[in-house]
């Protein structure tokens, strides 16, 4: 028999229509996945169901299933919710042998393991139950499951202490610089400080900034030429989209399996271009990250454009700390696209920069008040919006 548990507000509510009589007994209780549990399961392809409790001496306990594990699949079928997992368990009868695919989130193991549970007809004699009637377990409990206990100081989200913003490192050449994840490197730089190209050490993640004089060339054709020149594939562009502050953006793919976007702005005869290119198979996660890297790139050469005043339409987590104080560069305005990427920059007191998801990483009850935090070893440092270059 199974119990479906939902994490919401304090209190307890009974189902209006009790679930049907279970046909067998497994002794496993499911809970809704928390963000902390999901974030610690990098190999989880479905939403999963959190194991909230396992009854003593039950078939699930005998099979070795433990509280805190995540059920990714049952008999090979991906699990997307606690309700789905409970329904499958309730459909099995005494004597059935059911296979569970599990991730052990509590112990930080990311490799799945498979266990088989032999269903019994009923609980052992003398077993105690926390709800009535014992055979149906028809209760829904509204409380945070144990996985959220280590984040109790934050009412907004339930994230474990191991979850941290992505720390970025500075890199650059000449008067050009930017921020990227660890081990990224500079792949190209022009002597006139009009171009900076950085890339990840493995896979295919490239970020390129370039400014130039068009000398009568068509802007879109010039950008397509840059893509061909740097990524060795003929781009197939989507229709252009107008962006704030006079920028133009189009997405593209190549026959060699790359995908990305290019954003540019023409001022007189000058063009400034930001290009993010990744492996198409990794685009869902790699393109936002690479896009954030490209919008951190800046050059202070003779062709970098003037510093201008801060615009109220700019989001603080998309721009530089200098722009927040009123001195904005062209790249700060280009980075308004960070809202579409759903990522943002924050920095610490020592100038270190992190990449955050502004909507989910804003902690309401931080030790120093609402804001973004870097949590390490039980200590919390409040981070300020903006990148520090």
Take residue 159 and report the two structure tokens written for it: 């994230």
End-to-end distance of the chain based on CA atoms, in angstroms? 57
Do the domain assignments include residue 158?
A: no
Residues 186 and 110 in one domain: no
Residues 234 and 118 in one domain: no
- One-character DSSP codes across 137-190: --EEEBS--GGGGGGTT-SS----TT---EEEEEEEETTEEEEESTT-EEEEE-
Kindly tell me if the per-residue pLDDT of 10 is higher than 60.
no
Take residue 270 and report the two structure tokens written for it: 């000058």
Do the domain assignments include residue 23?
A: yes
* Residue pLDDT, tens place only, 157-209: 444 333 468 889 999 999 999 999 999 999 999 999 999 999 999 889 999 99
Residues 183 and 134 in one domain: no
Residues 209, 296: Cα–Cα separation, whole Å: 10
For all residues of the chain together, what is the average pLDDT?
80
**183 or 110, which is more confident?**
183
**127 or 343, which is more confident?**
343
| Rounded mean pLDDT, 80-89 | 88
Residues 132 and 200 in one domain: no
| Rounded mean pLDDT, 244-268 | 92
Kindly tell me if the per-residue pLDDT of 250 is higher than 90.
yes
* Residue pLDDT, tens place only, 301-314: 656 666 788 888 89
Residues 273, 4: Cα–Cα separation, whole Å: 52
Determine the structural domain holding residue 42 and report its residue range.
Answer: 2-151
Weakest mean pLDDT among 18-22, 100-104, 175-179, 318-322: 18-22
Do the domain assignments include residue 170?
A: yes
Task: Choose the final residue of a domain: 97, 127, 151.
Answer: 151
Residues 214 and 267 in one domain: yes
Residues 58 and 177 in one domain: no
CATH number at residue 40: 2.30.42.10
Do the domain assignments include residue 70?
A: yes
Residues 228 and 339 in one domain: yes
| Rounded mean pLDDT, 225-241 | 89
CB 169 within 8 A of CB 388: no
What is this structure's pTM?
0.60
Residues 146 and 258 in one domain: no
Kindly tell me if the per-residue pLDDT of 243 is higher than 90.
yes
Task: Choose the final residue of a domain: 128, 151, 174.
Answer: 151
**Burial group, residue 112, by CB count within 10 angstroms (0-12, 13-18, 19+):** middle
CB 345 within 8 A of CB 355: yes
Residues 70 and 177 in one domain: no
Do the domain assignments include residue 159?
A: no
Closest C-alpha among 297, 132, 137 to residue 210: 297
Residues 139 and 188 in one domain: no
Instruction: Give the pLDDT score at 152.
Output: 41
The total domain count for the chain is 2
């Amino acid at each position: 028999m199974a119990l479906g548990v939902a994490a919401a507000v304090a209190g307890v509510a009974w189902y209006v229509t009790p679930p049907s009589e279970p046909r067998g007994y497994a002794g496993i209780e499911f809970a809704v996945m928390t963000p902390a549990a999901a974030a610690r399961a990098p190999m989880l392809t479905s939403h999963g169901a959190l194991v909230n409790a396992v009854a003593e001496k039950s078939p699930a306990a005998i099979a070795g299933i433990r509280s805190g594990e995540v059920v990714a699949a049952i008999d090979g079928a991906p699990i997307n919710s606690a309700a789905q997992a409970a329904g499958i368990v309730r459909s099995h009868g005494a004597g059935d042998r059911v296979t569970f695919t599990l991730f052990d989130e509590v112990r930080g193991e990311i490799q799945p393991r498979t266990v088989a549970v032999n269903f019994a007809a009923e609980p052992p004699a003398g077993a105690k139950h926390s709800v009535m009637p014992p055979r149906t377990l028809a209760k829904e409990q509204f409380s945070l499951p144990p996985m959220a206990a280590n984040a109790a100081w934050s009412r907004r989200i339930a994230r474990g202490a191991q979850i941290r913003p992505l720390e970025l490192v500075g890199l650059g050449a000449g008067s050009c610089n930017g921020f990227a994840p660890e081990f990224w490197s500079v792949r190209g730089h022009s002597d006139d400080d009009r171009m900076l190209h950085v890339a990840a050490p493995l896979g295919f993640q490239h970020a390129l900034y370039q400014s130039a004089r068009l000398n009568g060339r068509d802007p879109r054709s010039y950008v397509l030429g840059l893509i061909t020149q740097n990524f060795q594939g003929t781009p197939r562009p989507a229709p252009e989209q107008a962006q704030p502050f006079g920028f133009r953006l189009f997405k593209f793919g190549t026959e060699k399996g790359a995908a990305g976007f290019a954003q540019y702005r023409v001022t007189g005869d000058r063009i400034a271009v930001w290009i993010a290119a990744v492996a198409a198979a990794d685009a869902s996660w790699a393109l936002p990250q690479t896009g954030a890297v490209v919008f951190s790139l800046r050059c202070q050469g003779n062709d970098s454009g003037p510093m201008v005043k801060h615009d109220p339409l700019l989001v603080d987590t998309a721009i530089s700390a200098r722009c927040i104080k009123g001195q904005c560069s062209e790249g700060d305005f280009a980075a308004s696209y960070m809202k579409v990427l759903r990522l943002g920059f924050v920095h610490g007191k020592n100038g270190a920069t992190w990449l955050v998801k502004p909507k989910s990483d804003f902690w309401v009850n931080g030790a120093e008040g609402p804001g973004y935090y870097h949590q390490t070893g039980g200590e919390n440092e409040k981070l300020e919006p903006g990148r520090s270059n």
